């Protein structure tokens, strides 16, 4: 994928509530009957049975019980979720997000910079370090990882009809999370449809389409693809393979050079492109390589996931 480059949130920790020590302040009540006895001028002996009886009656009367506040095992006055509850809450929240992901429809077309982009497959023969597809995340708000398999040309055309007047787009670009040349037949059929709508077509590719299809696909592209952009990424196979990790090993780099030469030979306009993060020395080496086979070179900015 030409447009280049994971966000995991830390799992919330449970609350480890310690025991809170409750302090009970016990105050005694001083019942002084002596002053009352002296005021009534009664012998103290006569009052003792009465005081004893009064105390007995007081003891017999039921005392109002204090309402106890609910406490959890950690001793707090309020119920707080323990670690298990926190884990369950986190799991429920994660499942809620997963349900949204499962219910999301596949994106076959998306708009970017005034162009209409076509997303045909997840497959790619490269595993480039700098590619945003590695994290399967959104790309400028577009979720491009196809959960339901590669779309047919008819499904893409049906999606295109939902975009209204297609002439508002500058061009149609075959560029998604995967390598479009895995879907040559579908791409050619879509080129016919978009040409009928008056649109130009462009292919962004890693240049390994002939290796992928085990045949020369350039004649299929002639008259269908108006422009081909080939990701060069390095000046030689020894430098290309460590960062692009082609399944074809070092033959992947040689294959893209041959693909570019065949495009030029068959009259299919093309260019190489590199990202500016490879270093000035490597940029200069790529310029020399492109000039040696008479292919224009485009240097573009390194794009991270949005």
Query: In the prediction, which pLDDT does 129 show?
Result: 82
Q: How far apart are CA 252 and CA 206, in angstroms?
A: 9
> Is 106-300 in CATH node 3.20.20.70?
yes
Query: In the prediction, which pLDDT does 14 show?
Result: 39
Q: How far apart are CA 254 and CA 77, in angstroms?
A: 72
Q: What is the pLDDT of residues 143-196, one digit of tens each?
A: 888 999 999 999 999 999 999 999 999 999 999 989 999 999 999 999 999 999
Q: What is the pLDDT of residues 12-23, one digit of tens each?
A: 343 344 333 333
Sites in the chain below the pLDDT cut of 50 = 2-58, 60, 69-78, 97-99, 305-306
Query: In the prediction, which pLDDT does 277 show?
Result: 82
Q: Which of 87, 80, 69 is nearest to 18 (CA)?
A: 80
Q: Which residues of 68-107 are buried (b: 16+ CB within 10 A; e: fewer)?
A: eeeeeeeebeeeeebeeebeeeeeeeeeeeeeeeeeeebb
């Amino acid at each position: 994928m030409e447009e280049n480059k994971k966000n995991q949130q830390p799992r919330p920790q449970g609350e480890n509530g310690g025991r809170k020590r409750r302090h009970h302040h016990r105050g005694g009540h001083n019942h002084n009957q002596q002053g009352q006895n002296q005021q009534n001028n009664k012998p103290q002996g006569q009052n003792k049975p009465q005081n004893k009886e009064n105390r007995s009656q007081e003891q017999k009367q039921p005392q109002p019980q204090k309402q106890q506040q609910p406490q959890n095992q950690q001793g707090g006055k309020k119920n707080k979720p323990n670690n298990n509850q926190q884990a369950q809450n986190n799991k429920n929240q994660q499942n809620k997000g997963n349900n949204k992901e499962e219910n999301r429809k596949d994106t076959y077309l998306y708009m970017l910079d005034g162009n209409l982009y076509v997303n045909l497959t997840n497959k790619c023969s490269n595993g480039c370090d700098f590619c945003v597809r590695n994290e399967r995340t959104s790309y400028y708000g577009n979720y491009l990882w196809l959960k339901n398999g590669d779309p047919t040309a008819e499904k893409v055309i049906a999606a295109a009809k939902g975009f209204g007047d297609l002439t508002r787009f500058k061009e149609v670009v075959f560029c998604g999370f995967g390598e479009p040349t895995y879907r040559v037949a579908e791409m050619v059929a879509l080129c016919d449809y978009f040409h009928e709508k008056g649109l130009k077509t462009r292919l962004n590719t890693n240049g390994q389409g002939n290796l992928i299809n085990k045949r020369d696909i350039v004649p299929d592209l002639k008259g269908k693809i108006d422009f081909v952009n080939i990701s060069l990424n390095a000046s030689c196979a020894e430098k290309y393979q460590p960062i692009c990790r082609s399944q074809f090993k070092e033959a992947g780099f040689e294959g893209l050079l041959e693909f570019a030469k065949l495009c030029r030979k068959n009259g299919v306009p093309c260019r190489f492109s590199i990202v500016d993060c490879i270093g000035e020395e490597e940029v200069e080496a790529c310029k020399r390589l492109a000039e040696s086979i008479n292919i224009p070179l485009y240097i573009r900015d390194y794009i991270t996931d949005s």
